[in-house]
A = this chain, B = another copy of it.
Amino acid sequence: MTLRFTVQKTASDSGARLGLLETAHGVVETPVFMPVGTQATVKTLTPHELEAMGAQIILSNTYHLYLRPGSELIKDAGGLHPFMGWQKSILTDSGGFQVFSLGKLRKITEMGVEFRSHLDGSKHFISPEKSIEIQMELGSDIAMAFDECPPYPSEYSYIKQSADLTYRWAKRCKDRHDHPYQALFGIVQGGVFPDLRRQSAEQLAELDFPGYGIGGLSVGEPKPVMYEMLEAAVPALPQDKPRYLMGVGSPDCLIEGVLRGVDMFDSVLPTRIARHGTVMTRQGNLTIRDQPFARDFEPIEAGCPCYTCRHFSRAYIRHLFKAREVLGLRLATIHNLVFLFRFMEEIREAIRQDRLGQFREQFFAEYAG
């Protein structure tokens, strides 16, 4: 099988919908947050912990895995699932975003992108076809089309050209893609220009992908601008296909994205801030390393059912961070991911009961950035 997506329920007063995304590796309840496992590991966690915490699908990065350990090696291991010991669904990005983030180290042509490895400076060339070939070797459940991610801010004329290139590349990706179970998503671009977002979405929709990423957002633009771009792009995408807002993971953006019809999200945010000693709560983030927590023997968040909150105090976690102990990174990562998984479950329940608008109001009444 490849992908099957079913919309179970649509909100009466917003674009939010409840869905089931079936891949070769299981069923994903949407809207869903996907943790990022850049180098074939969600940093600090085992795959079994992730599953027990409630992760349904994770993202892994094609650029990193292509360079190290190499996609051929992963193919020889039987693919990314057995290599990293993760039995559930995996989405791979195309490598585009990472390659474009290299700045001076890369050169874009119609054919693809030439770049130098951030690891050893070696020269590489990734075309849309090559990106698809790597992702097929990785054997993820969902592959992403190779797109250009222009920096923010960029001129209208550049974004227009870039979105056209992304469209031509999307066609080449589709032509090259041939895999027994992997599904290929197209990616909407168009910067912060509503008409370009709409046009990109319409063009990609014509190519009839089984799902659509919305890329090039959460790159520095104000949040209201991001929401406006969703409002421009989403109506142009088919109702019966999943929509994936790339690189977004803060609770406020998750809820606003869901309200505008987004089904999938990913971000390094919860895991990255955890490793810097910041934990997420419904009142906002706490810097657990800070002095006020030195003698605070309460859990990070009262009532949180995560492993960390059930067993350890803020004082202990702070001590681990001050002492630079790995366990601190683990405990903060566990809490932040469980926080987001629970948050998404609450969002799904609110859609189920058609009270997401009310949930949003309650959320923002409590939440301080």
Please list the residues of chain A having a beta carbon within 8 angstroms of any beta carbon in chain B: 39-41, 43-48, 64, 68-69, 73, 76-77, 83-85, 294-295, 297, 307, 311-313, 315-316, 318-320, 322-323, 325-327, 329-331
Contacts and interface: CB of A to CB of B under 8 A. Distances in A.
A323 B43 contact: no
29 contacts: A39-B319, A40-B319, A41-B320, A41-B323, A41-B325, A41-B327, A43-B326, A44-B326, A44-B330, A45-B327, A46-B311, A46-B327, A46-B330, A46-B331, A64-B323, A68-B322, A69-B294, A69-B322, A69-B323, A73-B294, A76-B295, A76-B297, A77-B297, A77-B315, A84-B316, A85-B311, A85-B316, A326-B326, A326-B329
Nearest 3 A-B pairs (CB), nearest first?
A39-B323, A69-B319, A44-B326
B319 A326 contact: no
Contacts of A43: 325-327
Indicate how many identical chains form the complex: 2
A319 B68 contact: yes
Contacts of A329: 326
Contact of A69 (B47, B77, B312, B315): B315
B327 A44 contact: yes
Contact of A77 (B45, B85, B313, B325): B313
Contacts of A311: 46-48, 85
Contacts of A330: 44, 46, 326
A162 B115 CA distance: 64
Contacts of A40: 316, 319
A77 B41 contact: no
B85 A312 contact: yes
A271 to B, nearest CB: 11
Contacts of A312: 85
